[in-house]
Structure 1
């Protein structure tokens, strides 16, 4: 039995994994898919002080409190920032990092460095006098809502989304722990409309592809689960 810890991206919640969790559990594995501070069942905790460090603390605390080891830590989208930072703090608890169509930062970078258009969202929030950034809007197909185009799926996904605080995009990762750098890493790219900010992957790190939009856990949960099970 392996332990999978699934970390959702910006604006999402632990509910985004609802179609993946049962498939991994049915294969005999332990699966955790928490909502980060300010999201899902913790939406009441959202505030201007919430940032990347808050999210990293959420995941590190869960790993320690549950005494989890040999964990396959999966980060979707923005959560690539989160899992990279978690690995710096508790590398001994992790067996594998999976960047799922995710940001892959270098030391000292923030989300703006990885995807510069993020600054536009922050500027818009500043003009509105708020620290809150609402979810990205639905676009015409094939972009849809985070790559989801089925009307029923879009309607469900909307119910799971919430605002993101500006600070989470501004805080920077601090990397450099040799033990973290030694953790095995795999990248899964959703190739139906590649997102801005995707960077070349080192030749030593496998890259798998899914022919779908960004929120593959909604659009291709079976195929995604099959890939994740290869890491068990």
Structure 2
């Protein structure tokens, strides 16, 4: 039996996985959706990026989970990639779902074209947070109006410090056993860092014909990918 620890991207909490969890549990596995500090029902808890790394490690250790398939979506790929290096032989595999990946000493915003200058200004204007996006932001990602409404309703402001604090890797990321799920609907190419990691031989690429929020748009298909990853 695998234990899936599921971490959604910026602004979202554990509820983002509501349509995926039943498929994993029906297959006989443990499913543990996690809300990171400062988000959803944990709104108001101070958080930096390393707080989120500890959130994930603590979830694994406090529940005494083994055969862990750690799933990080979007922003959450950054703390998930770091946490995966810190849980030792409890880890079976990491699945990065259309996500960023950590680079040692670099922050999430460093990958933005302006190096994060605009994002820093957004944080300053919003009390240190990245505000939720309007419904129009989710157009073109294979989502129904109902699914978009659920995302918008479940979103909370995201602590800006988690996006500006640098990642800290303890060894090369490419050494992790990993699956990268690329959502192709928006038409974006794989980033250079992800392409390089895939070329290293330990990472596997899976493509889903949907947008950036597959846990809403294609939960059954995403669950199938996660189950396949657990079987590797």
TM-score normalised to structure 2 length: 0.88
1:112-146 C-alpha deviation (Å, 9 max, x unpaired)? 123346542221232x2621210233337xx528x
User: How far did residue 51 of structure 1 move?
Assistant: 1.2
2:75 is the counterpart of 1:78: yes
Most deviating of 198-207 and 52-61: 198-207
Counterpart residue number, 1:223 = 221
Counterpart residue number, 1:159 = 153
Q: Which residue of 189, 201, 219 maps to 2:182?
A: 189
Equivalent residues of 2:35, 2:42 under 8 A apart = yes
Q: How many residues align?
A: 224
Counterpart residue number, 1:210 = 208
For residue 78 of structure 1, give the secondary structure of its aligned residue in structure 2.
Answer: helix
Gaps of 5+ in 2: none
User: How far did residue 197 of structure 1 move?
Assistant: 7.5
Q: 1:30 to 1:123 in 2, by over 3 A?
A: same
Looking at structure 2, the residues matched to 114 and 95 of structure 1 have their Cα atoms a distance apart, in angstroms, of 28
Q: Map 1:26-45; keep pairs closer than 5 Å.
A: 26-45=26-45
Looking at structure 1, the residues matched to 53 and 139 of structure 2 have their Cα atoms a distance apart, in angstroms, of 29
User: How far did residue 93 of structure 1 move?
Assistant: 1.7
For residue 231 of structure 1, give the secondary structure of its aligned residue in structure 2.
Answer: helix
Q: Which residue of 112, 118, 121 maps to 1:120?
A: 118
Equivalent residues of 2:11, 2:40 under 8 A apart = no
Q: CA RMSD in A?
A: 2.1
Equivalent residues of 2:82, 2:102 under 8 A apart = no
Q: 1:129 to 1:103 in 2, by over 3 A?
A: closer
Looking at structure 1, the residues matched to 75 and 15 of structure 2 have their Cα atoms a distance apart, in angstroms, of 16
1:147-196 C-alpha deviation (Å, 9 max, x unpaired)? 35311111111111000111011111111336x75331110010011458
Q: Which one has a larger percent helix, Structure 1 or Structure 2?
A: 2
2:139 is the counterpart of 1:144: yes
Counterpart residue number, 1:8 = 8
Most deviating of 106-115 and 216-225: 106-115
Equivalent residues of 1:10, 1:77 under 8 A apart = yes
1:2-22 C-alpha deviation (Å, 9 max, x unpaired)? 111111111111111000000
For residue 104 of structure 1, give the secondary structure of its aligned residue in structure 2.
Answer: coil
Looking at structure 2, the residues matched to 11 and 153 of structure 1 have their Cα atoms a distance apart, in angstroms, of 16
Looking at structure 2, the residues matched to 132 and 231 of structure 1 have their Cα atoms a distance apart, in angstroms, of 34
